[in-house]
A and B are shown apart, each in its own frame.
Chain A
Amino acid sequence: MMEKNGHILTVSSVTKTFDGVRALDDVSFSVRSGDIKALIGPNGAGKTTLLNAVSGLNPPTTGTVLFEGRDVVGLRTDQIASLGMSRTFQLIRLFTINNATVLDNVLLGAHMYLKPTLLGTVFLRRKIKGQEREATSKAMDLLKLVGLEKEAHALPGSLSFGNQRLLELARALMTDPKMLLLDEPASGLNDAEVEDFTRLLMTIKQQGVTILIVEHNMKLVMNIADDIIVLDFGKKLAEGSPSAICANPDVIAAYLGVQSKECGVRE
């Protein structure tokens, strides 16, 4: 399972068309194991489409996606997730039916290694209860990590927008991911929340989790990214280190523009 050149994810010539519209056009890039890679670009550039193509939610029309050396195109989303890829959503998607609590949401992240069976659930009560205790203590640790331990038994709908984003992150971490796909996790957060969030991402990185993050907040991107890829009109515009991206005239023209003063802010 050793990945080539230490790349955990290699996307090659991925194209996605919707009714003739090329949302992604021959995009190739790779993510080094343990890195934080940022995916930036104007609205409609195809960033979320690219995340969905990688995670299998909306598979690419052509091209390959290698995760740890294995082509995952054609696998179902749940199979790809079970390989160790987890994600958050641009529009928050928490589980809210039947009074599911904050804790329940995090616990669902344990699904892929608990793999509950119907017969086991009915007939192996003791085993299930033991698993549940273990999972609950792990979930509480994660809620503590994101600062939501006091809200464990609240309903997700009662949380602030920022806290709902943190809950999505805790749920994703519960899966023990090798790689996290984060879709605009800082949108709607205030400055103080963004700072907390930056620290949180660095903590997660230190634990060895690779992160691919779509984000518009350039200050956040410049502070955390090891590497950046820029998309524009479904095509790869540039790829490289944060400083190289900041100096790239194409990127400034297409995207950074007025934001360019955020570039180079490194704390």
Chain B
Amino acid sequence: MNALKRYWWLILLAAIAVYPIIGKPSPYRSGLLIFAGIYIILAVGLDLLMGYTGQISVGHAAFFAVGAYTSGILTAKYGFSPAAAMGVGVVFSATLAFLTGRPVLALKEYYLAMATLAFNEIVVTLIIGFEGLTGGASGLRDIPPFTIFGFSLLNHLHYYYFVWIVVVLVIASSIAVVRSPFGRALIAIHSDEQAARSFGVDCAKYKTRAYMLAAVYASIAGSLFAHYMGFIAPDDFGILTSINLLVMLFLGGIGTIFGPALGALFLKLLPEVTYQFQDYELLINGVILIVVLVFFPRGLFGILTALKNKIVPRTGK
């Protein structure tokens, strides 16, 4: 039990390393896993903000867009190296989250949901509006593949490894955050803001920090996405994407880090199973979602922990 809690990343790394050897995936298959990895990064970041800090965002794709477009524009038009462009995107996203965080997160519940929704819309509208820079509604082309130290990650397997190493780092840093005094302050804010204040927690500051971290993760995911696709368009970053992220959170089990990661993986790989039903694909996806959410409110991760506790009964604490 404790070993699993401590060494989960070894198991995950092993699975990531071994899969291509055993599975011999086609470019299409590894592409699916790359997308899944990118969405895991997004979902885990949003879980820090929603599942731990208790602040809803219905516009998280905005920071996904900021990362993707910063990377896309700087590499395709200004000759930046992809790693440098990703770094600029991270700084830009963090700054944007810092500046918008205080006023937006001063709002609560429905108002916060509306404000974040509007933020997503504004970012997408700006992207469409600045056509000369962003390519507007028709999209931005000719984004080069990712390179590290001059080594191009054009090969789909190389990129698969790269993305999933980032996934492990993102999950590991998120776990470190939530199992620390910092994470405890976030949980206190989620439970009872006034009580948290009475114990010295500067709520506005800590909410903004969680927002910034989620934004940084989303920005990294955006950069990874842009370099994999080579072409990005505003449609990829709309409210629908934000809502999909929410579905991943609740499907996987919000407030658990691993749950949203599982939710993202599940939702991105599900079409692989259901596509055989062709016309009924969307219907079946919908039914699975409803069944999980109605009967397993703690999500997929909740089901797994319940199963594990059945097989290995909890002893003592």
Give residues in A with beta carbon < 8 Å to B: 55, 57, 76-78, 81-82, 86-87, 89, 93-98, 100, 104, 107-112, 114, 116-118, 120-122, 125, 128, 131-132, 135, 153, 171, 175
Q: Is B190 an interface residue (CB 8 A)?
A: yes
- Number of residue pairs spanning A and B whose beta carbons lie under 8 angstroms apart: 105
Give 13 pairs: A residue, B residue, CB < 8 Å, sorted on A.
Answer: A55-B198, A86-B198, A98-B190, A108-B196, A108-B199, A116-B180, A118-B182, A120-B182, A121-B181, A121-B182, A132-B181, A135-B181, A175-B200
Q: Which of B201, B255, B317 contacts A111 (CB 8 A)?
A: B201
Contact partner of B195 (CB less than 8 A), chosen from A89, A114, A132, A153, is A89
Q: Is B152 an interface residue (CB 8 A)?
A: no
Q: Which residues of B contact A132 (CB under 8 A)?
A: 180-181
The answer to whether A98 touches B176 (Cβ under 8 A) is no
- A77 and B197 contacting across the interface, CB-CB below 8 Å: yes
CB-contact partner of B192 in A93, A111, A125, under 8 A: A93
Cβ-closest chain A residue relative to B184: A108
Chain B's closest residue to A152 (CB) is: B317
Chain A's interface: helix, strand, loop or mixed, by majority?
helix
B191 located at the interface, meaning its Cβ lies under 8 Å from any Cβ of chain A in the complex: yes
B213 contacts across to A, CB distance below 8 A? 118
Q: Please tell me if the beta carbons of A112 and B192 are within 8 angstroms of each other in the complex.
A: no
A81–B212 contact, CB under 8 A? Answer: no
The verdict on B54 contacting chain A, using a C-beta distance below 8 Å, is yes
**CB within 8 Å for A121 and B199 given contacts A93-B194, A100-B191:** no
Chain B residues within CB distance 8 Å of chain A: 51-52, 54, 173, 176-178, 180-185, 187-188, 190-192, 194-203, 209, 212-213, 255, 317
**Residues of B with C-beta under 8 A to A135:** 181
Q: Is the CB of B200 within 8 A of A81?
A: yes
- A97 to B212: give the CA distance in the assembly, Å: 22
- Most chain A beta carbons < 10 A, residue from B188, B195, B213, B255: B195
A100 and B186 alpha carbons, distance in the complex (Å):
11
Q: A100-B191, A122-B173 given as contacts; is B200 within 8 A of A82 (CB)? A: yes
Bound Cα distance A98, B183 (Å): 11
Which of B51, B192, B197, B213 has the most chain A CB atoms inside 10 A of its CB? B197
Query: Are A78 and B201 CB-contacts (below 8 A) given A98-B51, A118-B213?
Result: yes
B223 CB, min distance to chain A CBs, angstroms: 19
Please, how many angstroms separate the alpha-carbon atoms of A104 and B185 in the complex?
10
B175 to chain A, nearest CB (A): 11
Complex Cα gap A57–B52 (Å): 23
Q: CA separation between A104 and B182, bound complex, in Å?
A: 12
**Once the chains are docked, how many angstroms separate the CA of A107 from the CA of B195?**
14
Minimal beta-carbon separation of A130 from chain B (angstroms): 12
User: Which residues on A sit within 8 Å (CB–CB) of B196?
Assistant: 78, 95, 108
Best-buried of A86, A98, A100, A117 by chain B (most CB within 10 Å): A98
